[in-house]
Amino acid sequence: MADYLDTEIYRVAWIAPLEVEARAATLMLDKRHFGRIPQDSSDDYVYRAGEMCGHNVVIAAFPPGQHYGVASAADLAGRVKTRFPNIRFGLLVGVAAGIPSPSRDIRLGDVLVATAEREIPALTPYGLGREGKDKFQLLVSGRAMPMTASIVRSAIGIIKGECSQAGKLFLPYYEKIKDEECANGTFHYPGQDLDHLHGLDSSGNSYLIERTPRPDDQRTKVWYGNIGSGDTLMKDATKRDELAGAYDLIGLEMEAAGAMNVLPVGVIRGVCDYADEHKNEERALVVVVVAVLSIYLSSRDAGHWLLVVDNADELVMVTGESSDSPGLPDFLPRSEWGRTLVTTRSFDAAFNIVGHNIIELTGMTLEDATVFMEKAVSHPRLLKEKSDISSLLDKLTYLPLTIGQAVAYMTTNNVSVSQYLRLCDKTSTGLIGLLKQLHDESYHSKSQGAVATTWIISFDAICKASHGAAKLLSFLQWIGPKDIPLRILPTLEAEGGLIAAINVLCSYRFMSWREDGQTVDMHHLVHLALKTWLAEKPDQFMTQDNAIKHIAESIPTNTRENRPVWHQFMDHVLPIVLGPALVECSNGADLGYMVACRLQQFEMSAEAIEVLQKLIGIYHDRASDGSDQKLLEAQHTLVAKYVDHSYLEQGKAFIQQMMTTQNAIMSPEHPEQHKLRFWLARIDVEYGRVTAAIPELEHVVRTQDQISPNLRYHGELGRAYVKDGQTKKAIKLLEDAVNPPKALPEDHYDQIMFEYALAEAYGRINEVERSMALIEQVVSMQKTLPETHPARVAPEGMAWNILDEFKMKVRENERKIARLNLQHIPASKLDEYVQQRIAELDQEYASGLDQREAWSRKLSKYFHRLFEFGGRDRK
């Protein structure tokens, strides 16, 4: 586990509320500080730390999905102030709505800096006030806000006074992060062509304002002035203009008023919209992509193409949300080299796209449907009753889907048209109603009945003809319809086994094989119809509880090789364990525990904790005295999740609760009590209380060794020894923990942390090669883990800490060599010597790491300093 960062060394707080804002801020750091920030269970904000321009900076952001606004920002600022007691000043950096005016040509991408005028602060909290006689009145003229810190105001004043074109200064920093990944794609400037500003005429109608594009090197400008802050997301141009006119605002945002009351920050915002009804961040990236694609297809470079726009049925999508907003035709490419085909069920939509150039497709006629059926049937003899064909086609509403389904049934079961027609007549109209929940505007009610009829007939036929296929159908209702691995399906010994049963369903066109031959799919409408149909059958082949028992027995072991299979299983088992089946089915708890233990690998730690909490309740009801082994296992697993993900206070409280229960039924030296004492000591280690943790860990190890050595206990005591400087003791314990036979999987969290600690210990005794070998091994394992896995937070920081120590040793050794060697090397050969030595060190010490170039650059700088030293020594 990563060491905790020293929160007292940080002087600058950079509050970037949204994830994409925090990502951009992180990319701007000159050096990243890796480690953990002490947090209690109520603090779920995201912190990142590092260095920028010589300052130690902490970046604070909301967790994904949290509601943003004034109150949330105030809470975040308060947490920052508490966690980092020596913060000297803060900055609130992110996006905002710009408010252009005749005197301010504010555009998307411009920078807004909140500045004060005389005694008037830089922010207007436009949501804070009271209703007056005529209108909403802001408190104290809307300016009841603290002043920005003086050091920030001074810096802004210097930049404003000395840099008339400060926007040019930003462009190099944009180049630094351009094309870097973020949550919504990559950081990329979409271009001025997509910057649309709308005005309102005297009638209140919106119109597009024509603006001359700026030169590329001047596309970003900086504006200084008053920024409005409130909880309301402004999407009304009229209200925006009223506020701007009353308070001379240059922009609107939603966090500064909250943060400023807690931590007086400098507010710096990038313009992302104009606070009008055209604001739509969710569609912004889509619009950019579609626009670029349209431009490309309109050029000759695209060659010949056919673009099909299917199911363009929503009129608002075709015409646009308002008279001046773009609709579907505005995005369609136009080129003599290509053609666009649009399908729709709406005549109004069709007319808005192509005018009168509409090709109306009618339904299949009796003649068309007859030809289709005759070509689809492999045995013409099945169609010998010509008089019944028209009756059947009419009942199937001439739909290709229902005709194809009927033909599949007749071919598989050697049934004639007249026989199938009788089956249709017998089918219960009540069963046809099972597809009510499948309602889709793509089907008329009559055709819905036809589809249901063909499926019901086929379901009944399968259950009568093939016990194995019927059992398979019964199982399939309890899992998802897509990407179904064969190994999750029940074993069928009779009638040719599982493959034969699958092929029966394929013959009815209910299932299809994927190219890999190991997975199958079922159409989602067929799957939903199957579930509804079987719900009315009390004599099902397989209940959900039986299905869960089979899935639990089929789940592969938790090894790296089986991880792809686990990915396939997870889509099917996760809905089960997060749903009511976890509690309602007797086998649900066992499956839930297996899944919870593996969810961390899929970046689902919150789901794992949720499932474990429910499981503890289930097991507790079964054994209220707290002695049930499954209950104890679930409790210890929950503790591990708490500790591994830094919910230390929550974990500590839960452990103390367990100890209270166990003290009444177990002796203090019971192995279960040792586990709890181990976890409490581990929490002490994470908090840096190593001297308090070591005696407890030593007692646990000593007592447990008398029963059976526990390598996890050995490894954790070894980690504590490393932190305490007891290197030799640490190495002995850590080597026991990481060397074969291993008690933990090779990519287990503890295994990775123990190997890191051992690498650090080797580095301290100058066992460089062994240290580097472990680092390379762990970095390799780290790459297989999800990005949010706790073992991925530590490796970079700890690995480079070890490398830094190692490079210091290299530097000292090379200085000694320089005194002897450099004076004997001719000046003309110095450059050659430098490059040769860099290459040697690069190959020797950086092999296997993805930092070769950075390592070489650092060594180059080191050698420059080395030559200066050598030159002075020679003189």
Least confident of 167-171, 431-435, 473-477: 431-435
Band of pLDDT at residue 864, cut at 50, 70 and 90: very low
- How far apart (Å, rounded) are the C-alpha atoms in residues 543 and 477? 10
What phi, psi does 386 have (nearest 5°)? -60, -30
Residue 633's pLDDT is 82
Helix (H, G, I), strand (E, B) or coil at 730: helix
Mean pLDDT in residue range 20-31? 84
The DSSP bridge pattern shows strands 129-131 and 136-138 to be antiparallel
Band of pLDDT at residue 58, cut at 50, 70 and 90: very high
- How far apart (Å, rounded) are the C-alpha atoms in residues 397 and 130? 64
Q: Can you give the three-state secondary structure of 618-682, one letter per residue?
A: HHHHHCCCCCCHHHHHHHHHHHHHHHHCCCHHHHHHHHHHHHHHHCCCCCCCCHHHHHHHHHHHH
- Angle made by CA atoms 520, 524, 530, in degrees to the nearest 5: 95
Tell which wins on pLDDT, 537 or 499.
499
Contact call for residues 310 and 136 (beta carbons, < 8 A): no
Of residues 69, 471, 382, the one with CA closest to residue 231:
69
Whole-number Cα distances in Å, 402 to 392, 426, 447, 457, 496: 11, 17, 9, 12, 29
Least confident of 687-696, 725-734, 853-862: 853-862
Least confident of 39-48, 95-104, 631-640, 754-763: 39-48
Name residue 249's beta-bridge partners. 226
Band of pLDDT at residue 136, cut at 50, 70 and 90: very low
Evaluate the CA torsion angle 478, 481, 485, 491 in order and state its sign. positive
pLDDT of 214 above 70: yes
The one-letter amino acid code at 338 reads: G
Residue 721's pLDDT is 92
- Angle made by CA atoms 650, 787, 606, in degrees to the nearest 5: 35
The string of DSSP letters for 550-563 reads HHHHHPPPS-STTH
pLDDT of 770 above 50: yes
pLDDT digits (tens, 9 = 90+) for 633-659: 888 888 887 777 667 788 888 888 888
Domain coordinates in residue numbering, the chain: 7-182+208-279, 282-354, 366-559, 564-800, 805-874
Residue 428's pLDDT is 45
Provide the percentage of residues in the chain whose pLDDT is more than 70: 70
Mean pLDDT in residue range 700-707? 85
Fold assignment, 7-182+208-279: Rossmann fold (3.40.50)
Question: 564-800 falls under which CATH superfamily?
Answer: Tetratricopeptide repeat domain (1.25.40.10)
- How far apart (Å, rounded) are the C-alpha atoms in residues 471 and 556? 23
Residue 56's pLDDT is 92
Whole-number Cα distances in Å, 295 to 185, 193, 289, 302, 328: 20, 12, 10, 10, 14
- How far apart (Å, rounded) are the C-alpha atoms in residues 792 and 778? 10
- How far apart (Å, rounded) are the C-alpha atoms in residues 839 and 863? 12
Contact call for residues 121 and 143 (beta carbons, < 8 A): yes
Cα torsion 194, 200, 203, 205 to 10°: value is 20
What phi, psi does 63 have (nearest 5°)? -70, 155
pLDDT of 219 above 90: no
Least confident of 227-241, 305-319, 418-432, 491-505: 418-432
Bond preceding residue 264 cis, omega within 30 of 0: no
Task: Fill in the DSSP letter of residue 740.
Answer: S
Task: Fill in the DSSP letter of residue 321.
Answer: S
Of residues 737, 593, 797, 812, the one with CA closest to residue 1:
797
pLDDT digits (tens, 9 = 90+) for 65-97: 566 677 778 888 888 888 898 888 888 888 888
- How far apart (Å, rounded) are the C-alpha atoms in residues 409 and 266? 72
Residue 64's pLDDT is 65
pLDDT digits (tens, 9 = 90+) for 577-630: 888 888 888 888 888 888 887 776 665 777 788 888 888 888 877 765 444 778
Band of pLDDT at residue 445, cut at 50, 70 and 90: very low
The CA R_g of the chain, rounded to the nearest whole Å, is: 35
* Both structure tokens of 324: 């001046």
Least confident of 91-95, 231-235, 283-287, 693-697: 283-287
Considering the chain, what is the average pLDDT of its residues? 74
Least confident of 10-19, 116-125, 831-840: 831-840
Contact call for residues 407 and 457 (beta carbons, < 8 A): no
The string of DSSP letters for 230-285 reads -SS----HHHHHHHHHHHTEEEEESSHHHHHTTS-EEEEEEEEE-SSTT--HHHHH
Q: How many CB atoms lie within 10 A of CB 333?
A: 18
Residue 827's pLDDT is 54
Contact call for residues 549 and 587 (beta carbons, < 8 A): yes
Spell out a b/e string for 569-589, using b for 16 or more CB atoms within 10 Å of the CB, else e: bbebbbebbbeebbeebebbb
Q: How many CB atoms lie within 10 A of CB 800?
A: 19
Cα distance from N-terminal residue to C-terminal residue, the chain:
50
pLDDT digits (tens, 9 = 90+) for 281-330: 444 445 555 666 666 777 777 788 898 888 776 766 777 655 556 677 87
Residue 794's pLDDT is 47
Residue 186's pLDDT is 65
What phi, psi does 725 have (nearest 5°)? 85, 10
**Continuous segment of H or E residues that includes residue 590:** helix 588-596
Name residue 590's beta-bridge partners. none
Contact call for residues 137 and 130 (beta carbons, < 8 A): yes
Band of pLDDT at residue 870, cut at 50, 70 and 90: very low
Helix (H, G, I), strand (E, B) or coil at 91: strand
The segment with the largest mean pLDDT, out of 521-530, 722-731, 756-765, is: 722-731
Mean pLDDT in residue range 246-267? 82
pLDDT of 875 above 70: no
pLDDT of 849 above 80: no
Q: Where are the beta strands (DSSP E) in 53-179?
A: 55-61, 89-98, 111-114, 123-124, 129-131, 136-138
Task: Fill in the DSSP letter of residue 223.
Answer: E
Residue 10's pLDDT is 92
**Continuous segment of H or E residues that includes residue 716:** helix 711-724
Topology match between the domains 7-182+208-279 and 564-800: no
The DSSP bridge pattern shows strands 46-52 and 31-33 to be antiparallel
- How far apart (Å, rounded) are the C-alpha atoms in residues 519 and 335? 42
Residue 627's pLDDT is 47
Contact call for residues 114 and 123 (beta carbons, < 8 A): yes
Residue 819's pLDDT is 46
pLDDT digits (tens, 9 = 90+) for 336-371: 888 888 887 677 778 888 888 888 877 788 888 888
pLDDT of 817 above 70: no
- How far apart (Å, rounded) are the C-alpha atoms in residues 107 and 88? 33
- How far apart (Å, rounded) are the C-alpha atoms in residues 242 and 252? 12
Tell which wins on pLDDT, 714 or 144.
714
Task: Fill in the DSSP letter of residue 566.
Answer: H
Phi-psi region of 140 (alpha: psi -120 to 50; beta: other; left: phi over 0): left
- Angle made by CA atoms 846, 804, 56, in degrees to the nearest 5: 125
- How far apart (Å, rounded) are the C-alpha atoms in residues 333 and 656? 66
Of residues 282, 263, 264, the one with CA closest to residue 273:
282
- How far apart (Å, rounded) are the C-alpha atoms in residues 415 and 394? 18
- How far apart (Å, rounded) are the C-alpha atoms in residues 442 and 608? 39
The segment with the largest mean pLDDT, out of 11-15, 263-267, 598-602, is: 11-15
Helix (H, G, I), strand (E, B) or coil at 225: strand
pLDDT of 195 above 60: yes
Contact call for residues 584 and 547 (beta carbons, < 8 A): no
pLDDT of 163 above 90: no
Spell out a b/e string for 423-442, using b for 16 or more CB atoms within 10 Å of the CB, else e: bbeebeeebbebbeebeeee
Band of pLDDT at residue 522, cut at 50, 70 and 90: confident
Helix (H, G, I), strand (E, B) or coil at 474: helix
